[in-house]
Amino acid sequence: MNLETIKYALGKCAAERALGFPAVISYRHDRVKIETRVSRRPSQSNNGGDYYFWLSIWPTNSQTVVSRNFSSCDMDWEPDPEPQIVGQGWKVVKAFVRAEARKLGIPVRKQ
């Protein structure tokens, strides 16, 4: 896992926006969330098979940066069972996401 995985997620977010879906990036001091798929049928986004997907990125207590893909599925299933190590520093990752989002025209919401 490295910045290429994050760049891929940003590309998926931009593709969703190009299709007219409101995918965005949101961040707090301790987490970045990149929406990679918006449900086409929100009423079925929990257990109906048309889920939201996103990549979350965060620093651990040991300052290692990790990421994991999540979904809105409310069953015991997630696309990635365990977080993957990104390997770059937290400030580097946040700056990378902001810069790439700007290039791709993806809104970044601060929470």
* Residue pLDDT, tens place only, 74-97: 777 667 778 888 987 899 999 999
- Is the pLDDT score of 1 beyond 60? no
**What pLDDT does residue 108 have?**
95
Domain carrying residue 52: 3-110
Total domains in the fold of the chain: 1
pLDDT per position as a tens digit, 48-80: 778 898 999 999 987 789 999 988 887 776 677
Tokens matching residue 95: 């700056």
pLDDT at 54: 92
Unique residue bearing structure tokens 């977010």: 13
